[in-house]
Amino acid sequence: MKQILWFRRDLRVEDSALLENAKGEVLPIFIFDEEILKSLPADDKRVTFIYQSVIDLKLKLLKMNLDLAIFYGKPKEIFSKLKKFGFDEVLCSVDFDSYAKKRDDEIDKIIPLKRFIDSFILDPSKHLKNDGTPYKVFTPFYKSLNLLTQSNHIEQRAISDNILLYPFAYIEVPTLESMGFKTATLPEILTKGVKKVLEEIPKKLSNYKEDRDFFYKDATSNLSVFLRFGIISPIMVFNYVRNMKDSEFFIRELFWREFYNYILFHFPNSEFDNFSGIDINWNENEDDFIRWCEGNTGVPIIDAAMRHLNETGFMHNRLRMIVASFLTKNLFIDWKKGEKYFALKLLDYEASSNIGSWQWGASTGADAAPYFRVFNPYTQSKKFDEKGIFIKSVIKELKDLDSRLFHIENGVHSDLFLSYPKAMVDISLSRKRAIEKFKEARNETL
């Protein structure tokens, strides 16, 4: 048996489906996919993080008497060249977004592909309602997994003891520069490493349910990027926190990630269309969208969130909900435009979670917020950042302003010496407009 172990978003040796199912001669590989990378800016932090993680994986495999061949190019062309070496199959983890499915189907025609659920805990094909249909609402979905979520431990994958490294040119490693990228400075969270980030979780659990919404606090797990690229598996996270005090709500949140992957698997069209099936006549004003992207809406909390995203690649989950509501309800712009922008900017971008969350915020998705639920950004900023700590840390020209003004519509403009933009829309009027348009789209009586 000769296998290719195609590492993708599973950049680890612990709890690895590939290493567990490997047997005989193996060629571990990683491909920097030219089709994906060509749309990214040269200083994209994700590419630097992935590159460093791939090199780290190579070093870990070397300690196991294995190695990692690293390629840059189009997967189809690379596998066409590898085919001549007589490999029997390719082992890889599976993704359910459209690009991944199309790519894998093409590779499967060159060398048979064996796919594993490795980036998530659940196999979405095996968890259905009693009538054989998939869940569409999170709470019953989560309750149906009670035996799993209440277990003390989920068995992790072991490493096969029947592996022999296939002889190959493992020393030929492309550089970031040769792929058109430059080394970016990574945020401190990523340079800490996943082990240290994990060690900080226990002290956050006791107040996690309440504190996680306060975006000026360091109260979340900070694991999203590590999970996204498989530096750690969700099973490993589950096992680490499961028997800790006050871990129940944390685990519940971990399964929202599972739920959105489940939805994308069963409803692949939700990547491109409103899950609810309603047809909405969105606002097509490109200038409105650009102002939202740049953080020039005139609403302090929206602007701070978007500017922070643009600069760091991070956005707190509460802020994601607030800016999504503002874009889709107050500006009435299609969620797909916001989702695409997040895909370009978020370090932890994951198709299933991002699509699911945007559809939730736009009231078009599975178990979505009701269409008449429109976040008031001023109320949100007062509730979760009353002293303006986050806003002032991002929008420097507002750092000396009385924070109470951030929570009043156009309150900032009481200071005549500031050149801060006026709010793009009236919150109350735009909320009313959104509700009317949703009623119209749903054929409800106005």
Give per-residue pLDDT as tens, 185-220. Answer: 999 999 999 999 999 999 999 999 999 999 999 999
Distance CA 268, CA 44 (A): 28
Distance CA 446, CA 7 (A): 53
Which fold is adopted by the domain 120-156+196-266?
Answer: 1.25.40
The pLDDT, as a whole number, for residue 414 is 80
Vertex 251: Cα angle to 246 and 255 (nearest 5): 160
Domain boundaries, the chain: 2-119, 120-156+196-266, 286-441
Distance CA 353, CA 346 (A): 12
The pLDDT, as a whole number, for residue 197 is 96
Host H or E run for residue 127: none
Give per-residue pLDDT as tens, 139-153. Answer: 999 999 999 999 999
The DSSP line for 279-336 is: -------HHHHHHHHHT-SS-HHHHHHHHHHHHHS---HHHHHHHHHIIIIIS---HH
Distance CA 21, CA 160 (A): 7
Spell 207-235 as b/e; 16+ CB within 10 A means b.
Answer: ebeeebbbbbbebbbbbbbbbbbbbbbbb
Distance CA 349, CA 314 (A): 10
The pLDDT, as a whole number, for residue 330 is 98
Distance CA 242, CA 249 (A): 10
Q: Distances from the Cα of 238 to the Cαs of 209, 225, 235, in angstroms?
A: 17, 16, 5
Q: Kindly calculate the radius of gyration of the chain based on its CA atoms and give it in whole angstroms.
A: 23
The pLDDT, as a whole number, for residue 445 is 46
The pLDDT, as a whole number, for residue 18 is 98
Q: On the CB side of 241, how many CA atoms lie within 13 Å of its CA?
A: 28
Would the pTM count as exceeding 0.85? yes
Residue 418: exposure state from Cβ atoms within 10 A (0-12, 13-18, ≥19): middle
Which tokens in the block code for residue 171? Answer: 């020393």
Pairing type for strands 2-7 and 24-33 reads parallel
The pLDDT, as a whole number, for residue 415 is 75
Which tokens in the block code for residue 256? Answer: 């929202």
Mean pLDDT, consecutive 10-residue stretches, the chain (446 aa), reads: 97 98 97 95 96 98 97 97 97 96 97 97 94 96 96 96 94 95 94 95 95 95 97 98 95 97 97 95 96 98 98 96 98 98 97 97 91 95 97 95 95 83 96 94 68
Assign domain 286-441 to a CATH class.
Answer: mainly alpha
The pLDDT, as a whole number, for residue 411 is 93
Architecture per CATH, 2-119: 3-Layer(aba) Sandwich (3.40)
The pLDDT, as a whole number, for residue 416 is 67
